[in-house]
Chains A and B, each alone.
Chain A
Amino acid sequence: MNSQPLVLRAFRQPGSLRSLSLEDWDLLLRQARHANLLARLHALLDEHGLLEQVPQQPREHLEWSHAIAERHTQAIRWEVGRIQKAMAEVGVPIILLKGAAYVMANLPLAQGRLFSDIDIMVPKESLNAVEAALMLHGWAATHHDAYDQRYYRAWMHELPPMRHVKRSTVIDVHHAILPETASLHPDPAKLRAAACALDGHDGLRVFAPSDMVLHSAAHLFHDGEMENGLRDLIDIHSLLCHFGGLPMFWPDIVERARELELTRPLFYALRYAALILHTPIPADIEEAASRTGRPNRLMLAFMDSLFTRALLPVHPSCSDGLSSSARWMLYVRANWLRMPPLLLARHLFHKAFISPKAE
């Protein structure tokens, strides 16, 4: 494995970018682009007042990606406004998740982020009313196959994605943050109870700071797709740096992880953020998270070898022979965590042979 890929060095020590040669910039941009981090890199340099010092040619590329990120942010704000309007009559607080939450809460990590779907969480009892309200305002159901419908509603934790007929934007409506079939059960009622209001946006909420971090950790360390592993880890790093200054944040997050059954994901999140991105974490907190969430020694060694490879950007300059199999194993592992093995086999079988889609 290459020692310290440039893109990691960039996020650990932005100041070190001052001394990069043109050749280094060429490689850094390529690594960042592969990891979908180009716009984040622009935001990082901007935040540290370093953009002016970037040589003209690489600077062009950073500005190109910045234009895309700005457009995405504009689109998210608009879309959230439309959702707010659609949900006004339902009378149930809507919790924005992930990217949409970061934007509307004006968090630093929203800068330079690209978005695909919008994710929201509502109480399970309100799912029908929410779905109906969305359809009234132009969102249509996708995945019409009866099996897919059941997969999403009964086994996962969401309605099948809904696509707007005119704008083509997609909204994912969740009622929990992990599927009912998963081995961990963070209680959605607890998450809702702690959710914070957004200034100037009636009816919209976002997760409390520790819950935002824990959700991101659960998403990264349970989901199968590591294509954006580094980007997601950088999100966690950014959230921890931003909220780390709040009084009681650190002891609270350990306690909250215990409450929500997310001690294992928290342990991994802190461990790999510190290891890979050098996130500053108080020693006593690392210890406490380790006590409550650490797996046995053999498992930990195995997970270390999987995650340290899989969280690197997918670029030839960052891989060794083991990397793609590491990623594959995480995919199988994550799916196993989400669905009991029998269901998984049936699901994959069904997907492969019974409902072929014309892509």
Chain B
Amino acid sequence: MMWRVISAHALHFRSWDDEFVVYNSLSGDTHLLGAAAAHVLSELQRTPAEAVTLAGSLAPVLQTSFDEELVLETERLLAELDRLALIERSRF
């Protein structure tokens, strides 16, 4: 299943230390996100991707091994970002 950000220009990021605040100019909502979520969002902003690919890019960022558990965690993260209307399923 492919994911993408809700719109290329809708998200505004600012970060301090390891945390990020994101403003979604479509929904008007503001979110506080950790490094993993912010990384996933910025990857998806470049190009749509699947959970597996994203987990692969997350492993070095989180300094953890690329295994099934990480993929599951990534899927959960994606579901959460979907619920927050920051990302959506992509057809391509």
Contacts and interface: CB of A to CB of B under 8 A. Distances in A.
Q: Do A and B touch (CB < 8 Å)?
A: yes
Interface of A: 71, 74-75, 77-78, 81
A289 B17 CA distance: 68
Contacts of A75: 28
Contacts of B26: 74, 77-78, 81
By CB atoms of chain A within 10 A, which of B25, B27, B28 has the most? B27
5 contacts: A74-B26, A74-B28, A77-B26, A78-B26, A78-B28
Contacts of A71: 28
B68 to A, nearest CB: 32
Nearest to B88: A85
A75 B27 CA distance: 7
B85 to A, nearest CB: 8
Interface string B1-42: 000000000000000000000000111100000000000000
Contacts of A81: 26
Contacts, number: 10
A358 B41 CA distance: 45
Contacts of A77: 26
By CB atoms of chain B within 10 A, which of A74, A75, A78, A81 has the most? A78
Q: From DSSP, what is the main secondary structure of chain A's interface residues?
A: helix
A81 B26 CA distance: 10
Interface residues of B, number: 4
Interface of B: 25-28
Contacts of B25: 74
Q: List the 4 closest A-B pairs by CB distance, nearest first.
A: A78-B27, A78-B26, A74-B28, A75-B28
Given A71-B28, A74-B25, A74-B28, 7 more contacts: A74-B26, A75-B28, A77-B26, A78-B26, A78-B27, A78-B28, A81-B26
Nearest to A81: B26
A85 to B, nearest CB: 9
A75 B25 CA distance: 10
A298 B86 CA distance: 61
A235 to B, nearest CB: 25
Nearest to B27: A78
A78 B6 CA distance: 12
Nearest to A167: B27
Contacts of A78: 26-28
Nearest to A77: B26
A88 B35 CA distance: 34
Contacts of B27: 78
B8 to A, nearest CB: 15
Nearest to A71: B28
A77 B25 CA distance: 11
A71 B28 CA distance: 8
A331 B25 CA distance: 40
A78 B27 CA distance: 6
Nearest to B25: A74
A69 to B, nearest CB: 14
Nearest to B6: A81
Contacts of B28: 71, 74-75, 78
A136 to B, nearest CB: 15
A302 B25 CA distance: 50
A124 B22 CA distance: 42
Contacts of A74: 25-26, 28
A77 B27 CA distance: 9
Nearest to A82: B85
Nearest to B28: A74
A78 B86 CA distance: 12
A75 B28 CA distance: 7
A8 to B, nearest CB: 34
